[in-house]
Amino acid sequence: MRCPTYPSDLTDAQWALIEPLLPAAHWDGRKEKHPRRDIVDAILYVNQTGCAWRYLPVDFPPWQTVYWHFQRWEERRVTEKIVDVVRRRLRQDLDRDPEPSAAVMDSQTVDAADTVGADTRGYDAGKKINGRKRFIITDTQGLLLAVMVRPASVQDRTGATSLLLGLVLFFSCRTVFADQGFSGRLVTWAADVLRLTLHIIGKPPGQKGFQVHPRRWVIERTNGWLLLRRRLARDYERHPTTSEALIRWAAIDQITRRITRGHPATRPGPRPLEHL
């Protein structure tokens, strides 16, 4: 096993949380030549630095091996399972019920690279961006519940129907907070079809400049966390499902770091004068 070298590498405590949630060794009948921790570290390195798979440093396993594991784990929905388990663990650490009763929904439009085909990209006229749109649902702590990636041309109300349907099927949430982009017929549809209350939180009258909005700020913070990872600041993936997987890996890294650290990340204060 390689020695931890990069800031994106897992700590021992993080790996202790993730390792038991991966598929059993040799689950597909193939012998694994490289330590799984190195595979996960390589995935997180790509996510954090934004480099192409082929540009992985030589101290990681071969990029073909890393990408093969990445894809095979996604076929078994491994990241969805890990996100669910570590999110429940963190909510328990925060003295909250493991299953959230309320959620927050938002969309985020990002540019798409030339590796994204015309069939999975679109133009967001409101944001004036040619790329993809991420539909994200979190709990009221900003912890990821579900993500869906679609062309940027997809309207918020249209994309939200599938996301809300999945929320009702797999979670106990019956209250969702969202911004004005999800207002209108979607509110009525959610109430009549899904028996779900969709609260629209709009801008206060006369608002000028930036202002923190109740409930919505947690998912805005989550969107900001995603953009800190260079691979997610722009969409490079040929398939939307790959983008969704990388978003879940980012959530896994963020949640496990918070569990092992014991508190949210804080901005460092000013250094003492003697160190300036």
Percent of the chain with pLDDT over 90: 76
Could you report the per-residue pLDDT of 242-263, keeping only the tens digit for each? 999 999 999 999 999 999 987 6
Shared domain check, 227 and 170: yes
Answer for the pair 132, 152: CB distance below 8 angstroms, yes or no: yes
Q: What is the pLDDT of residue 33?
A: 87
Shared domain check, 148 and 47: no
Could you report the per-residue pLDDT of 117-126, keeping only the tens digit for each? 999 999 999 8
Residue 33 in domain: yes
Longest dimension (CA), the chain: 64
Q: What is the pLDDT of residue 120?
A: 95
H-run or E-run covering 84: helix 78-93
Q: Is residue 241 packed enough to be buried (19+ CB in 10 Å), middle (13-18) or exposed (0-12)?
A: middle
Could you report the per-residue pLDDT of 85-137, keeping only the tens digit for each? 999 999 999 999 999 999 999 999 999 999 999 999 999 998 899 999 999 99
Residue 247 in domain: no
Shared domain check, 115 and 172: yes
When pLDDT is cut at 50, 70 and 90, the band that residue 54 belongs to is: very high
Q: What is the mean pLDDT of the chain?
A: 89
Could you report the per-residue pLDDT of 222-238, keeping only the tens digit for each? 999 999 999 999 999 99
Residue 55 in domain: yes
Shared domain check, 31 and 132: no
Shared domain check, 119 and 155: yes
Residue 4 in domain: no
Shared domain check, 54 and 152: no
Shared domain check, 186 and 129: yes
Q: How many domains does the chain have?
A: 2
Residue 81 in domain: no
> In one letter, which amino acid is 158?
T
The parent domain of residue 228 ranges over 97-203+213-237
H-run or E-run covering 134: strand 129-139
DSSP conformation class of 50: -
When pLDDT is cut at 50, 70 and 90, the band that residue 213 belongs to is: low
CATH number of the domain enclosing 108: 3.30.420.10
What is the four-CA torsion angle of 18, 19, 23, 25, rounded to 10 degrees? 170
Shared domain check, 67 and 101: no
Task: Name the one residue in this structure whose structure tokens are 């040929």.
Answer: 238
